[in-house]
Structure 1
Amino acid sequence: MLGSGTLDVFHHLCQVQYRKLLLMILVLGIGGTHLGGFQLSVINYTSLYIQKFINETWLERYGSALHQETLTLFWSFIVSIYCIGGVIGCLCSGYLAAKYGKKKCLLINDVVLIIATLNTGFSRRAKSFEMILIGRFLEGICAGVCMNAHVQYAGEISPKKLRGFVNVTSSVFLALGKAVARVLGLRDLLGTEDMWNVLLSFSGFVALIQLLFLPFFPESPPYLFLQKGDKDGCLKAMKQLWGEENCRTEFDDMVKEKAVTKGTKIMNVLEMLKEPSVHPQLCTMLLLLLSLQLCGLSAITFYTLEIFQTANLHESIIPYVALGVAVSELISIIFCSSIIDRFGRRILLWGGYLLMALVLVLLETSLLLSDRFLWMRYCNVILIFLFIIAYGIGPAGAVSSVMNEIFTLSARSSAFVIGGIIIWLGLAFTGMIFPFAVMTLGPFCFLIFIAVLVVSSVLIYLFVPETKGKSTFEITEEFKTRRYKKKRHQTVENNVTEEKIYCTKL
């Protein structure tokens, strides 16, 4: 069953009419979420070298070394300013995508990112740690823009039967970025004192590739037709990406969506928050993102090194085992992309969270018993791999797909602004608060995440609709139907209550 689902996806992609779509997915990915994943991970492999560089630069300028507290403060600025830039980038992404389209938005972003990486790349030669601060801030802005634009763009260039697969590719490239950072960050490659600035500026090379090749691909068909009213341009783009056969059905769905949203302009964030018709979709997105942020991945990442060390793994081997964790995440998300259009999104979400909760229960038990049974330390390593695989097959890929599918074009850009801000603030929050939670609770911190995973699984099962094989128009109508049923149920209850009161008075 799994094999046939995987073969169906690859059979479609190997067809001649989808080859340009496949190439476009690659070009979008390397300059999209791949950059975000790379930049989030790469800072871990340069931290010691950057702190040493800051100290040496300060000593050369002022003749005295920095106090450890001041050095830590400078380092925290470099780390946190990236997240601040990410929030600003998210706020800008909605306006830029609506005004210029996703394609131009990404091309402008590539130029800014190249400038940012030139700052970080030449900071060592210029003996200026301020250039690293500026570079990381600009990189954060670019990450906030490109991650939002890429996910939306990928969803809009995909035909209905491949939409789940194409949506999940944004998560695939995010995991690929993390894995590439781990590979290049090895001491055998660029993770050295002489090459850390080259490692930091690698993103600029990837952005240059997208800048050179993306102009050869079309803007997204829904943007051309629904927002710009360019029917001919839309049909031309659809034929380029999907071939002649699939255009008519997909175009008919767009015509239905345009009829429903006729006269509706692209909503900004405030307008969206005030619009009652999109509140169910916003609540769904909030549930999915909070579940993803609090699923325990940060806890696993924090404990990975300690677990590897207690398993008596040699120091020289640990980076390669950690690389294995990143590769297992990448492979599991690729597997998710091949089955999501067969099994749907809901089962991957609630089933994935339940499986992750089960693995955390086993890991919690294993950690508590590791001192009594030494062999259980090796079980801890295996359970980390199993948790990452469950995360990759389930929520890591399915969340981005559902987010892309539940909003119409008029609301999508602003929805991703809100979603992006939640993600970036969540990253900053977990980075600041989680270490203190670990210090206070120790391995018992996993109990919090187990509870979150179980509750998330139940809520998703009860309230999140299946979006597999449905057009945006059909999904929107399903949300309207649910909302109408809820209102009708409340009205009936109110009427019954009024009748009881009236009868009592009589």
Structure 2
Amino acid sequence: MSARALSQHLCLLLQYPVVIATIFISGFGGSFQYGFSLSVMTSPSAFIKQLLNQTCVERYNLLLEEWQVSVIWSCTISIFCIGGLVGSLVVTSLNTRFGRKRCLLLNNFVAIFGAVLMVLSQTARSFEMIMVGRLVYGISAGVGILAHTRYLIECAPTKLRGMVGVSVATFVAAGKFSGQLLGIRELLGTEKNWHWLLGFNGFTALFQLLTLPFLPESPSFLLLERGDRKACETALKRLWGDKDFSKVVGEMLREKAAMQGVRDHSVLELFQNPTIRWQLLTIIATFISLQFCGINAVYFYCFDVFRAAGIDEDKLPYAALGTGLCEMLFSVVCFMMIESIGKMALLFSGCVGMCTALILLIVSLFLQNHASWMPYCSMVFIFIFIFFFSSGPAATIVPLPGEILTQPFKSAGYTLGCIINWAGLFVLGMGFPILAENIGNFCFIIFPVVCILCGLHIKCNVPETKNRTILEITAEFERMHSKASKKQSTEGDHGGITIHETKL
């Protein structure tokens, strides 16, 4: 990637100030809340467990044992995933009925309700309010991350779609980092203020609620689903400036003509349609890798690695803060360079890089007690892994269904991806600590396998999406795999051809 190409894409983005505003406003009420909810529970965990014990003593005169506290705590963490799965299942109908923008606006009320429960939980001395609040936050995140992604992709010019899509991952990373940062004891990670920390999502939702009404609705939604060409052209002018959009509208109309009389398909119909088999396999493979690439396991182990490197116990939260900061910074770097490199190239290199970093991390963890400098190697491998994750899967996978599926299948594709994501997060959250306790450092072994399998699938079966329309990408999928089918057919008939030529 040349500095000149990077400069050109940044200058191109600066020509669309309303698109930039859309990135920030939709991001804080969308994927930011998902990232924040993933990291925010670590810092106040001791205070929340204390509230749980106090509540049981006051109500039932019962002091919970340590294993009982652990079970309830695990349920509190995991119920977020249950809510996310529910949100993912209802967001498709909400997007279709209300539109992308209004869906995001309505979702803010859900997040604010969850925040109110969190803030009042300490005063009410109710641990149950935290659990319900986590469930509500999960529903909000399940709706928000999907509606945010689809709204951004449909508002971005084709040449900037990859760059804009990466911002979804950037705001997830920003949310994680913000949860870590606000959770330190100098800010909100105290016994007095932890409930305000848990309720912070309400402030980001309120910000979006006040600012999003000034932005236009998705032009694609207005034309393809509402059939309102005038409103579509008005939205395009607000987003992209006063230019000639006849080519863009023409492409949308061709897509509309192709889907004339075709409704939005369900997830089941997505599986049943043979014409999009490779797109379906791509969504399944990439979203599985998003959770099972090892990123959550690396975060789970980073405290042990930093502790072995000699970092004081009271400094560990600040060292972990560095991992969140790195993920956010690397995501910003990817945001700037993705249009020059290409999404599939980044995803492939990210998978290969993560696989290599994980193998080296496994070796360094195994040898950690054999050399005094080995923990520092482990720290380096953790940061290398985070770099490849931020520039690969995190940056490219979430927007992928909207880029490789035509309009009737987009909703089902996003829904399937989110179901896999939330189910994977739930399984990993419940199962990985048990796995780590029983097999130690070797619990990482499955993750390099997932990374390399996903990388090979991308390399062999998925075309580049950079600067291509949906119809062009669909045609490229057909070309790649019809060519493969013809080759297999030719190889299957090769013996008969040879005999025939010999007779001649």
- CA drift of 1:316 comes to 2.7
**Correspondence for 1:228:** 226
Distance in structure 1 (CA, Å) of the matches to 2:497 and 2:385:
54
Distance 1:258 1:134, change over 3 A: same
Q: Secondary structure at the match of 1:44?
A: coil
Distance in structure 1 (CA, Å) of the matches to 2:360 and 2:478:
41
Map residues 73-222 of structure 1 onto 2, 5 A cutoff: 73-222=71-220
Map residues 363-442 of structure 1 onto 2, 5 A cutoff: 363-442=361-440
Distance 1:83 1:333, change over 3 A: same
- CA drift of 1:491 comes to 5.6
- CA drift of 1:485 comes to 3.6
Map residues 197-276 of structure 1 onto 2, 5 A cutoff: 197-245=195-243, 247-276=245-274
- CA drift of 1:255 comes to 2.0
**Correspondence for 1:476:** 474
Greater alpha carbon shift after TM alignment, 320-329 vs 173-182:
320-329
- CA drift of 1:271 comes to 2.6
Q: Secondary structure at the match of 1:43?
A: coil
Distance in structure 2 (CA, Å) of the matches to 1:443 and 1:58:
36
Q: TM-score, normalised by structure 2?
A: 0.95
Verify the 8 A CA contact 1:2 1:339 in the aligned structure 2: no
Distance in structure 2 (CA, Å) of the matches to 1:112 and 1:497:
65
String of CA shifts for 1:7-55, please: whole Å, max 9, x gaps: 222211222xx11111111100000000000011101122211111011
Distance in structure 2 (CA, Å) of the matches to 1:195 and 1:498:
79
Greater alpha carbon shift after TM alignment, 26-35 vs 279-288:
279-288
Greater alpha carbon shift after TM alignment, 64-73 vs 339-348:
64-73
Distance in structure 1 (CA, Å) of the matches to 2:365 and 2:488:
48
String of CA shifts for 1:104-159, please: whole Å, max 9, x gaps: 11111101111111111101111222211221111111110001111111110000
Query: Residue 7 of structure 1 aligns to which amino acid in structure 2?
Result: S
Query: Residue 373 of structure 1 aligns to which amino acid in structure 2?
Result: A
Verify the 8 A CA contact 2:290 2:421 in the aligned structure 1: no
Verify the 8 A CA contact 2:222 2:231 in the aligned structure 1: yes
Greater alpha carbon shift after TM alignment, 85-94 vs 293-302:
293-302
Verify the 8 A CA contact 1:341 1:468 in the aligned structure 2: yes
Q: Secondary structure at the match of 1:188?
A: coil
- Tell me how many residue pairs correspond in the alignment: 500
Distance in structure 2 (CA, Å) of the matches to 1:466 and 1:216:
34
Verify the 8 A CA contact 1:167 1:404 in the aligned structure 2: no
Distance 1:401 1:416, change over 3 A: closer
Distance 1:306 1:246, change over 3 A: farther
Distance 1:93 1:497, change over 3 A: farther
- CA drift of 1:337 comes to 1.2
Which residue, 339, 342, 349 being the options, matches 1:341?
339
Distance in structure 2 (CA, Å) of the matches to 1:453 and 1:420:
19
**Correspondence for 2:4:** 4
Query: Residue 48 of structure 2 aligns to which amino acid in structure 1?
Result: I
Greater alpha carbon shift after TM alignment, 169-178 vs 247-256:
247-256
String of CA shifts for 1:232-279, please: whole Å, max 9, x gaps: 000110010011336233222212212222221111223323222222
Distance in structure 1 (CA, Å) of the matches to 2:111 and 2:297:
31
Query: Residue 332 of structure 2 aligns to which amino acid in structure 1?
Result: I
Distance in structure 2 (CA, Å) of the matches to 1:439 and 1:65:
26
Verify the 8 A CA contact 1:31 1:210 in the aligned structure 2: yes
**Correspondence for 1:26:** 24
- CA drift of 1:354 comes to 1.2
Distance 1:132 1:446, change over 3 A: closer
Greater alpha carbon shift after TM alignment, 409-418 vs 255-264:
255-264
String of CA shifts for 1:447-481, please: whole Å, max 9, x gaps: 33223222322221111111111001111122233
Verify the 8 A CA contact 1:222 1:409 in the aligned structure 2: no
Query: Residue 356 of structure 2 aligns to which amino acid in structure 1?
Result: L
Q: Secondary structure at the match of 1:111?
A: helix
- CA drift of 1:497 comes to 8.5
Map residues 297-376 of structure 1 onto 2, 5 A cutoff: 297-376=295-374
String of CA shifts for 1:61-102, please: whole Å, max 9, x gaps: 122322333322322221121111111000001111111111
Query: Residue 284 of structure 2 aligns to which amino acid in structure 1?
Result: L
Greater alpha carbon shift after TM alignment, 61-70 vs 149-158:
61-70
Q: TM-score, normalised by structure 1?
A: 0.94
* 2:49 aligned with 1:62: no
Q: Secondary structure at the match of 1:263?
A: coil
Q: Identify unmatched segments of 5+ residues in structure 2.
A: 500-504
Query: Residue 444 of structure 1 aligns to which amino acid in structure 2?
Result: F
**Correspondence for 1:504:** none
Verify the 8 A CA contact 2:91 2:146 in the aligned structure 1: yes
Query: Residue 185 of structure 2 aligns to which amino acid in structure 1?
Result: R
- CA drift of 1:300 comes to 1.1
String of CA shifts for 1:170-224, please: whole Å, max 9, x gaps: 0000000000000100011101111111101100111011111111111101111
Distance in structure 2 (CA, Å) of the matches to 1:71 and 1:399:
36
Greater alpha carbon shift after TM alignment, 134-143 vs 486-495:
486-495
Verify the 8 A CA contact 1:402 1:467 in the aligned structure 2: no
**Correspondence for 1:449:** 447
Q: Identify unmatched segments of 5+ residues in structure 1.
A: 502-506
Distance 1:53 1:2, change over 3 A: farther
Distance 1:420 1:381, change over 3 A: same
Percent identity for Structure 1 against Structure 2:
39
- CA drift of 1:490 comes to 5.8
Q: Secondary structure at the match of 2:445?
A: helix
